[in-house]
Chains A and B, each alone.
Chain A
Amino acid sequence: MTAYLTIRDVRKSYGRAIALNSIDMDISRGEFLALLGPSGSGKTTLLRIMAGLLIPDRGSLVLDGIDITKAPAWDRDIGLVFQNYALFPHMNVRRNVGFGLDMRAIRGAEADRRIDEALEIVSMRQYGTRRPDELSGGQQQRIAIARAIAIKPRLLLLDEPLSNLDAVLRQSVRVELRELHERTGLTTIMVTHDQVEALTVADRVALMEKGELLQIDSPEALYTHPASAFAATFLGSPPANLIPVAPGVARGVVSIAGAAWRPIGPAERVLSDLCAPARLALRPETLALHLQDTPGAISGLLRAVEYMGGERLAHVEITGTSSPAPVLLVRSAHSLPDVGQKVFILPSAITGLYDNDSGSHGKSAPANRGD
C-alpha cells in the first residue's frame, strides 16, 4: 500500500537542542497512529510540523501526493485538536464549529448543514448556542473535535486528547475516539505520553524518545517484541524487568547477578549464543513463581509483596554476588508465600535481549536475534 502521509528526514532544532533528529514515517490512508513518548521526546514538535505550525529545518512531508513541507497551516486542510481545546471563548459552540467553514467562505444553509453534521458526530447537537465556558471539559473536547472535522480535514491531529480529562471520563473517551475514527474514516494521528491510551486506541504506535523514532509497530508487536530496552521498559505497568546478564562459565550457562543460571525453552534459544554482557527484558506477567527449584528457574529471595486487588506483585531479589542484587517484579494471581522465603522464578517468554554498548537499540528477541 502506498503511504498517504510520507515523512522523510524531518529535523528540527531549537538552538543547540535537537527536538527531532531525522524522522522517517509512512502513514496509510485511514490509519489511526499514536505518537507515544515521554515529555521531550519530540512527539508534539512532530505533530506541530504536520499541522504547519512549525517548519522543519530539513526534510519533507508529502500528503496524498502533494508536498506540504512549506505550505502554511491555513492552506493544509488539517484538523488539529489542541490539548487545552483552544475553543474561541467569545463565540458560541456553533460559531466555533463554523469558524473553519467561514474561512472557506462556506456560509448560510450549507454551513448550517455541516455544523449540524459535525455536532451530530460528537453528539453535541443540542449545545449549539452554549458558550465554551458553559461546557464541561469533556464537552469542550467534543466541540474542539467537531470544529476540526467540520472542515473535512485531510488529516486529523489530536494533541494529548485525554490528558485534561478525569480518570473515569478517560476510559469512555478512549472508546469514543476509536468509534469516531471508524465513523469518519479520517486518517488520525494522536500524540500521547500515556501508553494505555496509545495501545488501546491506535492501529499502530510510533514510539519516540529524545527526538528519535525508535519503533513503529502494531500495539501488540510493540509490547511483545520491543526493539529496544527503552521500549521494553517504557511500555507495561509495571514495565519489563531489565536484568544484566553475561556469558556463563560453560555452554548453556548464563551469569545472572553473578550466579549461574541454566535457562531452558525459549530463554535457552534466545541466550544460547550470548557472547558479551547484555540486558535481558522479562515482563512481570511472563514469570512464574515456584516454591521448589525447577529446571530453568532463577533463584531468588522474596523481598516484598504488593497486594493490588486482582493480583499480587512480588519483588524478588536475585540470589547472586552482585550488590545491590537486581530485583525481579513478578505478577501473580495466586497468594504468595511469606516474605523472606527462597523462591524460584521461571520465565515462560523472553521479551528482549539488548546489547549494553549500543544504548537503547539492541538485539531484539526472538525474531531477529544473532549477529
Chain B
Amino acid sequence: MRRNLLTGFTALVVLFTVAPLLVVVFSSFDDGKFFRFPPRELSLRWFRAAFDSAEYRSSLLNSTVVGLLATAISVTFGTAAALGLQRSVLKSRAVLEAVLLAPLTLPLVIWAIALLQIYAWLGIGGTLSGLVLAHATFTLPFSVRVMLATCSAIDPGLELAARSLGARPWQAFARITLPLAFPGLATSALLSFFISFNDVIVSTFIAGSSWMTFPVRLYSQLRGQGIDPTTLAIGTMVIASILLVVMLTEIFSRRALRT
C-alpha cells in the first residue's frame, strides 16, 4: 500500500517535470502556423525554418560559445578552489565557502546590475569577454559545490600510495585523482553550461544587443511577435542534444570509474 503510494507520487513528480518538455517536443512537429497543443498534423517545417533563420543560428552559436567558455572558466577555477579549500587546512574554509555561494542568494537582476557597473568601469561591458565573465561568476558557485563534494570523497592517501609505487605527482594526479573526479567534473561542466545557456537576465544586461544569446532572442521574439513555432523546433533540438550529452557523460563516467 505504502509502496504503491510512493510509486504514484514519484510518477506524479516525473510527470510534472517532463510535461513542459513533452508539450514543446510534440508541438514542434505540428504543421500549424501557431503554437498549439496537442499537435494535429505532423510536419518538419519548423525545423526547416529554424535551420533557415540566420538570426536563430547566430544566437544559438553565441549561446554555445559563451556557454562553453563560461563552463571552461567555472570548472577550472571551481576545481582549483575546491582543491584549495579541501587540501589546505584553511581556518576560514566556512567563510570562503559562504562567500563562494553568495551569488546564489541574490536575485540575478541585482547581481547583473552590479556586474554591469563593474564591467562598464573595466571597459568590457557589451563584449564577449564581459559576457563570459558574467556567466562564469554565477556558474562558479555550482562548480565549487560539486567539486568540493567530489574532492572530499577522494582519499588523499590514494595519490600518496601511487607515489610510493613510483608515480610522479602529475602521473598520480592523472591516473588516480582525475579519473575518480571525472563524474564530478562532468556534472559541474554540464550544470555550468546549462545555467549559462539558459540565462536571460544577466545576458540582457551585460550584452543585450551586441552578443544576443538564444534565450534573449527568444524572449524578445516572444515580446514582439508572440510564440514562434520555430522556437519549439529549436527547443526540441536543444532537449535532444542535452539528453545526448547527459547520456554520453554517464557512459564516460562509468568508464572512468571502471578500468
The interface of chain A, by Cβ under 8 A from chain B, is 51-53, 72-80, 82, 84, 86, 88-92, 95, 99-100, 103-104, 131, 147-148, 151
Give chain B's interface residue range (CB within 8 Å of chain A). Answer: 20 to 34
Q: How far is the CB of B159 from chain A (nearest CB, A)?
A: 9
Chain A residue nearest to B179 in the complex (CB): A90
CB of B258 within 8 A of chain A?
yes
User: Are the C-beta atoms of A74 and B257 separated by less than 8 Å?
Assistant: no
**A-B pairs, 3 with minimum CB distance:** A103-B166, A100-B165, A86-B161
Known A90-B256, A95-B259; contact A100-B158, beta-carbon cutoff 8 A: no
Q: How far is the CB of B135 from chain A (nearest CB, A)?
A: 32
User: Are the C-beta atoms of A84 and B256 separated by less than 8 Å?
Assistant: no
User: Are the C-beta atoms of B165 and A53 separated by less than 8 Å?
Assistant: no
Which residues in B have their C-beta under 8 angstroms from that of A72? 163
Q: How far is the CB of B114 from chain A (nearest CB, A)?
A: 41
Known A100-B166, A147-B165; contact A73-B160, beta-carbon cutoff 8 A: yes
CB of B180 within 8 A of chain A?
yes
Chain B residue nearest to A84 in the complex (CB): B157
How far apart are the CA atoms of A193 and B167 in the complex, in Å?
30
User: Are the C-beta atoms of A86 and B259 separated by less than 8 Å?
Assistant: no
Which residues in A have their C-beta under 8 angstroms from that of B160? 53, 73, 82, 86
Which residues in A have their C-beta under 8 angstroms from that of B256? 90
SS of A interface (majority):
loop
How far apart are the CA atoms of A91 and B161 in the complex, in Å?
14
User: Are the C-beta atoms of B155 and A84 separated by less than 8 Å?
Assistant: yes
Q: How far is the CB of B182 from chain A (nearest CB, A)?
A: 9
CB of B168 within 8 A of chain A?
yes
Interface centre among B161, B167, B179 (most CB of A within 10 A): B161
Interface centre among B158, B164, B166, B168 (most CB of A within 10 A): B164
Chain A residue nearest to B176 in the complex (CB): A88
Which residues in A have their C-beta under 8 angstroms from that of B259? 90-92, 95
How far apart are the CA atoms of A77 and B164 in the complex, in Å?
7
User: Are the C-beta atoms of B164 and A80 separated by less than 8 Å?
Assistant: yes
Residue in A79, A89, A95 whose beta carbon sits within 8 Å of that of B180 in the complex: A89
B88-121 vs A: 1/0 string, CB under 8 Å? 0000000000000000000000000000000000
Q: How far is the CB of A72 from chain B (nearest CB, A)?
A: 8
How far apart are the CA atoms of A256 and B162 in the complex, in Å?
57
CB of B221 within 8 A of chain A?
no
How far apart are the CA atoms of A99 and B258 in the complex, in Å?
15
User: Are the C-beta atoms of A73 and B158 separated by less than 8 Å?
Assistant: no
How far apart are the CA atoms of A104 and B166 in the complex, in Å?
7
Chain B residue nearest to A79 in the complex (CB): B164
The interface of chain B, by Cβ under 8 A from chain A, is 155, 157-158, 160-168, 171, 175-176, 179-180, 256-259
How far apart are the CA atoms of A104 and B257 in the complex, in Å?
23
Q: How far is the CB of B176 from chain A (nearest CB, A)?
A: 6
Which residues in A have their C-beta under 8 angstroms from that of B166? 74-75, 77, 100, 103-104, 151
Which residues in A have their C-beta under 8 angstroms from that of B155? 84, 86
Which residues in B have their C-beta under 8 angstroms from that of A89? 158, 180, 257
How far apart are the CA atoms of A82 and B164 in the complex, in Å?
10
User: Are the C-beta atoms of B163 and A74 separated by less than 8 Å?
Assistant: yes
Q: How far is the CB of B192 from chain A (nearest CB, A)?
A: 24
Residue in A53, A88, A91, A92 whose beta carbon sits within 8 Å of that of B164 in the complex: A53
Known A90-B256, A91-B259, A95-B259; contact A78-B164, beta-carbon cutoff 8 A: yes
Q: How far is the CB of A243 from chain B (nearest CB, A)?
A: 44
How far apart are the CA atoms of A148 and B176 in the complex, in Å?
17
How far apart are the CA atoms of A80 and B159 in the complex, in Å?
12
Chain A residue nearest to B159 in the complex (CB): A86
Residue in B161, B167, B258 whose beta carbon sits within 8 Å of that of A82 in the complex: B161
How far apart are the CA atoms of A238 and B176 in the complex, in Å?
45
Q: How far is the CB of B57 from chain A (nearest CB, A)?
A: 41
How far apart are the CA atoms of A95 and B161 in the complex, in Å?
14
Which residues in A have their C-beta under 8 angstroms from that of B163? 52-53, 72-74
Q: How far is the CB of A11 from chain B (nearest CB, A)?
A: 22
Chain A residue nearest to B255 in the complex (CB): A90
How far apart are the CA atoms of A91 and B257 in the complex, in Å?
8
Apart from A86-B158, A90-B179, 13 more pairs, CB < 8 Å:
A52-B164, A73-B163, A77-B166, A78-B164, A82-B157, A88-B158, A88-B176, A90-B256, A90-B259, A92-B259, A99-B165, A99-B167, A103-B167
Q: How far is the CB of A262 from chain B (nearest CB, A)?
A: 58
Which residues in B have their C-beta under 8 angstroms from that of A104? 166
Chain A residue nearest to B154 in the complex (CB): A89
Q: How far is the CB of A140 from chain B (nearest CB, A)?
A: 12
Which residues in B have their C-beta under 8 angstroms from that of A75? 166
Which residues in A have their C-beta under 8 angstroms from that of B158? 86, 88-89
User: Are the C-beta atoms of B171 and A51 separated by less than 8 Å?
Assistant: no
Chain A residue nearest to B180 in the complex (CB): A90
User: Are the C-beta atoms of A51 and B164 separated by less than 8 Å?
Assistant: yes
How far apart are the CA atoms of A78 and B176 in the complex, in Å?
19
Which residues in B have their C-beta under 8 angstroms from that of A77? 166
Which residues in A have their C-beta under 8 angstroms from that of B179? 90
Q: How far is the CB of A107 from chain B (nearest CB, A)?
A: 13
A-B contact pairs, 23 of them (CB 8 A): A52-B163, A74-B166, A74-B167, A79-B164, A80-B161, A80-B164, A82-B157, A86-B155, A86-B157, A86-B158, A88-B161, A88-B162, A89-B180, A90-B180, A90-B256, A90-B257, A90-B259, A100-B166, A103-B165, A131-B258, A147-B165, A148-B165, A151-B165
How far apart are the CA atoms of A52 and B166 in the complex, in Å?
11
Q: How far is the CB of B156 from chain A (nearest CB, A)?
A: 9
Chain A residue nearest to B158 in the complex (CB): A86
Chain A residue nearest to B169 in the complex (CB): A74
How far apart are the CA atoms of A84 and B161 in the complex, in Å?
11
Which residues in B have their C-beta under 8 angstroms from that of A95? 259
How far apart are the CA atoms of A99 and B161 in the complex, in Å?
10
Which residues in A have their C-beta under 8 angstroms from that of B175? 99
